[in-house]
Amino acid sequence: MTRDGFPLLLLLLVFLSVFEASHGCLQDSVSAYRFTGAVCRLTYPAAVVLNEKTTKVIEAAFQHARYPSVKREKSLLFIGRVVYGLDNLEIHNLSIGRSVFELRAGEGIAMEISNVSAVFKGTIQYGYGSWLVNVAHSIDFEIESEIDLGINPKLYCGEEKVAADTSDCYLNFHKLHLHLQGDREPNWLKKLFTDFITFTVKLVIKGQICKEINKVANILADFIQDTAEEFLSDGDITVDIGVTAAPVITANYIESYHKGVTKYNNTSAVISDSVFHPRQLTENKMLYFWVSDQVFNPMIAAAHQDGHFQLNISGAELTELFKTSLSSATPEFIRECLLESGSPELRVWSSSVPFLNTSTWGTTVWAQASGQLNCGSQGTPTLLFQMDVVMDVTASYADKKLSLKGNPSEIFVLQAKLLLQNQPLVDEEQLGFIREAVEKIGIPKVLSVLEIELTRLLDKQGTNLFDIFNPEVLPQDGFVVIQMDFGFPHHLLVEFLKKTLQ
Ligand SMILES: *[C@@H]1O[C@H](CO)[C@@H](O)[C@H](O)[C@H]1NC(C)=O
Ligand SMILES: *[C@@H]1O[C@H](CO)[C@@H](O)[C@H](O)[C@H]1NC(C)=O
Ligand SMILES: *[C@@H]1O[C@H](CO)[C@@H](O)[C@H](O)[C@H]1NC(C)=O
Ligand SMILES: *[C@@H]1O[C@H](CO)[C@@H](O)[C@H](O)[C@H]1NC(C)=O
Ligand SMILES: *[C@@H]1O[C@H](CO)[C@@H](O)[C@H](O)[C@H]1NC(C)=O
Ligand SMILES: *[C@@H]1O[C@H](CO)[C@@H](O)[C@H](O)[C@H]1NC(C)=O
């Protein structure tokens, strides 16, 4: 089952290279692996797709930056004191040339955004002379600029968070042309403003842009964290996806290590002997998730305890289901119940904690299910049954839907009885019918309900908004690898930035 919650969040996360985490990063990666329930690997080709979106973020950072007003004072020969300041700095006509990046093994990500051209507009306030300071003049100005921007985010593992430190951020100005509106000012003043503005604008812009990039990164990190937690929570069940070790960067991929422990009813699952090793993942797909059985089993156990595995089917839906052709003859009491009673109802629920085990040939699920078929309006239960089911389940994702295929290898009726007679059913033919009905009607129905539920959970996280190509779920010994290529829809990012930066 692909019940993991991080597709979207990891995309966003690596795209600005911010890793959310909780405390407890282990320095020694080999011991950290043992506590790792889920791993995400994003390879270079994925980073290329995400980097195409970087320019949008940079644009947002420029446009959203608030440039503070600046005041200066200078004494000039013959003229005396000159007071001047910069106000209302705004940015116009921003365009971004290109953005390239590199994954630097063991270090971080290097990003170069070159040829950012922009027009800054603002007002210079000034006064001069000996008496003057309360006589303020002002001129509007425009600056044409061309800038290269470099950011070298470093990933680190902090106390509560593993985050990207974007303080290594620099701007180079190729061009900075000042135009003053109305050219009425004396030459010495123009010269003074040119020097002042050139210097000040560089300083102000650099400080604000780098600060803004850091801020957008943090907003994204919070966003990622919130959506992740929301997605992985289902009622009282939550999954801690805090990291176990600092993310690793090689020239070909970025990999993050997560706990993946389920929390429910004040208890937390424990993973301490995970079999993860980086060799279990390849590098030719864009995105990989490695998920241990040790993540799925506690999730399933919590879902069972929380009463999620119950299904009620009644009326026409139930009669319709039983039209499936079976080789066993329908026992008379069931035929009567379905056709002649006013409101037949079937309740099915898991009656012990289900368990799964994955190996190279598939995922096997052991479950004990109970069922009760009620006939008649007085609501007295007619048939009660309980069985052990073992089946191999495979999951796939296509057309934005998760599909589950189950192939039962064992269906054993533990007990079945008719409540009115309060006697166990012993008739082999009737037991055979129950077995066959469970196999051909019950299991497909339960899987189709699960498919819908799991697809709904994935969609809640926004999986359906992505273009996912050739996703595969590969079962291995004790874990599954989910691998895929993807496209990042432009509108997603634009909407996110709009929403967040308003
Ligand atoms: C922005 O670009 C448009 C179209 O090229 C131009 O008309 C406008 O004057 C520019 N604005 C500034 C502030 O340079
Ligand atoms: C930068 O952009 C301008 C205008 O878009 C273009 O004319 C110029 O060739 C670009 N320079 C580089 C180095 O890409
Ligand atoms: C929650 O835990 C308590 C005590 O550990 C236990 O008595 C109770 O049955 C549990 N509730 C559920 C729904 O599992
Ligand atoms: C969990 O523990 C807290 C404090 O010990 C208690 O208030 C709360 O009711 C418990 N929750 C459950 C679901 O048992
Ligand atoms: C199924 O029906 C039983 C009895 O009417 C009810 O207690 C239970 O909550 C129902 N379950 C679901 C999932 O609707
Ligand atoms: C789970 O599968 C593995 C690999 O096939 C096997 O070695 C192991 O015994 C199985 N575990 C259980 C509990 O069946």
Q: Tens place of pLDDT for every residue, the chain, 502 residues?
A: 222 222 333 333 333 333 333 334 566 777 889 999 988 888 888 877 777 776 777 777 777 777 778 888 877 777 777 788 888 888 888 888 887 878 888 777 777 888 888 888 888 888 776 555 555 678 888 888 898 888 777 665 554 445 566 777 888 888 888 887 766 667 777 777 788 777 887 888 787 777 777 776 666 555 555 555 555 667 788 888 777 887 788 889 888 888 889 999 999 999 999 999 999 999 999 989 899 999 999 999 999 999 989 999 988 899 899 888 889 988 888 888 887 777 888 999 999 999 999 999 889 999 999 999 988 756 555 889 999 999 999 988 888 899 999 999 999 999 998 877 777 877 888 899 999 999 999 999 999 999 998 888 778 767 787 788 999 999 999 999 999 998 877 776 666 666 666 5
- Which position has the token pair 């129950």? 434
State which ligand 1 atom lies nearest to the alpha carbon of 144.
14
b/e for 388-419, b at 16 or more Cβ within 10 A?
ebebbbbbebeeeebebebebeebebeebbbe
User: Is 97 a pocket residue for ligand 2 (Cβ < 6 Å)?
Assistant: yes
Residue 499 buriedness (CB in 10 A; 0-12 / 13-18 / 19+): exposed
pLDDT at position 242 is 77
User: Is 93 a pocket residue for ligand 3 (Cβ < 6 Å)?
Assistant: no
Q: Token pair of 212, please? A: 């803004």
Measured in Å, residue 267 CA sits from the centre of ligand 6 at 26
| Residue owning the nearest CA to atom 6 of ligand 5 | 312
State which ligand 3 atom lies nearest to the alpha carbon of 305.
14
User: Is 144 a pocket residue for ligand 2 (Cβ < 6 Å)?
Assistant: no
State which ligand 6 atom lies nearest to the alpha carbon of 357.
1
Q: Token pair of 172, please? A: 């180079």
Domains of the chain: 45-229 (3.15.10.10), 309-450 (3.15.20.10)
| Ligand at shortest distance from the CA of 117 | 2
| Residue owning the nearest CA to atom 8 of ligand 2 | 115
- Amino acid code (one letter) for 27: Q
pLDDT at position 499 is 66
| Ligand at shortest distance from the CA of 92 | 1
- Give the pLDDT confidence of 361-415 residue by residue, as tens digits: 889 999 999 999 988 756 555 889 999 999 999 988 888 899 999 999 999 999 9
- Residue 246 · residue 268 · CB < 8 Å: no
Helix (H, G, I), strand (E, B) or coil at 72: strand
- Which position has the token pair 């003043």? 189
pLDDT at position 264 is 94
Tell me the pTM: 0.78
d(CA 49, CA 11): 10
d(CA 66, CA 199): 18
Alpha helices in 52-185 (DSSP H): 54-64
Measured in Å, residue 94 CA sits from the centre of ligand 1 at 10
State which ligand 4 atom lies nearest to the alpha carbon of 265.
13
Candidate of 262, 263, 265, 305 to mutate for ligand 3, largest count of ligand atoms within 8 Å of Cβ: 265
pLDDT at position 139 is 84
pLDDT at position 502 is 58
- Residue 10 · residue 39 · CB < 8 Å: no
- Residue 262 · residue 237 · CB < 8 Å: yes
Pairing between β-strand 238-240 and β-strand 243-249 as defined by DSSP bridges: unpaired
Measured in Å, residue 98 CA sits from the centre of ligand 5 at 58
User: Is 277 a pocket residue for ligand 1 (Cβ < 6 Å)?
Assistant: no
Look at residues 275, 271, 278 and name the one whose alpha carbon lies nearest to residue 294: 271
State which ligand 2 atom lies nearest to the alpha carbon of 115.
1
- Residue 106 · residue 249 · CB < 8 Å: yes
d(CA 78, CA 246): 62
Cα-to-chain-centroid distance, residue 208:
29
Measured in Å, residue 114 CA sits from the centre of ligand 2 at 9
State which ligand 5 atom lies nearest to the alpha carbon of 310.
13
Look at residues 311, 383, 380 and name the one whose alpha carbon lies nearest to residue 350: 311
